[in-house]
Amino acid sequence: MSEQSVQLNTKREYWRWKEYNWRDASIDWKQAQIISCGIDVGSVSSQAVVFTDGKLFAYSSLRTGSNSPTSAQKALDWALQGTDLPRERIQYIVATGYGRVNIPFAHKAITEIACHARGANFIYGPSVRTVLDMGGQDCKAIRCDERGKVTNFLMNDKCAAGTGRGMEVMADLLQVPIEEVGPASLSVNEEPPPVSSTCVVFAKSEALGLLRQGWSKERVLAAFCQAMAHRTVELLSRIGVEKEFAITGGIAKNIGIVKRLENELKIKALEPKLDPQIAGALGAALFAKALYEKQLAS
């Protein structure tokens, strides 16, 4: 077998979402007084966000590797790529997320709960009172005040049901690219009953059984998204949902989950003005700016 045909036979990774970076080319960082940075090293994805005088300058998002410091470094390098901004010019870096304590070049580590609330406050505005962060390996329901300060929270980090990782597993099983899961799940004429298994491992067997019964992939995805939304609403209702309501994290980009959450909660989620997946790193960058200003003042 030639090398090329081996390549062609390699299994496609349906779960693999696109890594990306972005910069505001209109900003000249050389004019900036304060350059702050937030890095969110999550269990599945890592983001870096750079602010110049409180303005969003650049960001990146990529998959977390096996080593937290390397992932943080890569995320930052990629955010800075093509900006000429040397890392040494960044005055303050705050790390957050699952791997936050392990980042040698960060000045401080802050929990992702605080950072997501702060980031959501920036993305969605001060009217946000409930933030649902749907991450790669956990799901958090956060209540906050008008300054983005956390007043209460609940989280599931024990179980893949209701997390991005669970969604990746399902995308891979059904061979639907992860970005298309949401729209595909909404393409059914009638909403099927939700899958009955809580556990993602059991839901996989259940999904295979449904396919055997002649269900379409879209219908199975609808049943899975329905179950996931329901499970998330249970978490949310334990802490209580106060308006306005916003979703952050990777799953905020999955319209199939967002729509079903809105239907079950009977509350519309705020439209994000920025990428909701960078909320944690964004909050960290805002904290970094405030901490640097405090340091200057003292």
Confirm or reject binding of residue 202 to other proteins (CB under 8 A). Answer: yes
How far is C-alpha 201 from the chain's CA centre? 22
Report the site for other proteins in 112-131 (rule: CB under 8 A). none
Nearest Cα neighbor of 112 from 92, 126, 98 is: 98
Least distance CB 282 / other proteins (angstroms): 26
Of 81 and 198, the one with the shorter C-beta distance to other proteins is 198
The whole-angstrom separation of Cα 68 and Cα 201 is: 27
The whole-angstrom separation of Cα 243 and Cα 203 is: 32
Report the site for other proteins in 25-54 (rule: CB under 8 A). 43
Confirm or reject binding of residue 66 to other proteins (CB under 8 A). Answer: yes
Confirm or reject binding of residue 199 to other proteins (CB under 8 A). Answer: yes
Contact (Cβ atoms closer than 8 angstroms) between residue 184 and residue 256 = yes
Q: Which of 158, 190, 214, 266 binds other proteins (CB under 8 A)?
A: 158
Q: Which of 154, 159, 186, 255 binds other proteins (CB under 8 A)?
A: 159
Tokens representing residue 186 in the block: 């909404």
Of 81 and 196, the one with the shorter C-beta distance to other proteins is 196
DSSP 230-241: HHHHHHHHHH--
Of 118 and 231, the one with the shorter C-beta distance to other proteins is 231
Tokens representing residue 145 in the block: 């005040």
Confirm or reject binding of residue 101 to other proteins (CB under 8 A). Answer: no
Helices (H), the chain: 3-9, 68-80, 112-124, 164-174, 181-186, 200-212, 217-239, 255-265, 279-297
Helix (H) or strand (E) holding 102: none
Q: Which of 32, 35, 128, 169 binds other proteins (CB under 8 A)?
A: 169
Q: Which of 11, 12, 30, 212 binds other proteins (CB under 8 A)?
A: 212
Confirm or reject binding of residue 11 to other proteins (CB under 8 A). Answer: no
Sheet order of strands, 150-156 included: 150-156, 139-144, 130-134, 245-248
Q: Which of 33, 127, 198, 295 binds other proteins (CB under 8 A)?
A: 198
Confirm or reject binding of residue 254 to other proteins (CB under 8 A). Answer: no
Of 160 and 176, the one with the shorter C-beta distance to other proteins is 160
Residues forming the site for other proteins (CB under 8 A): 43, 66, 137, 158-160, 165-166, 169, 198-202, 209, 212
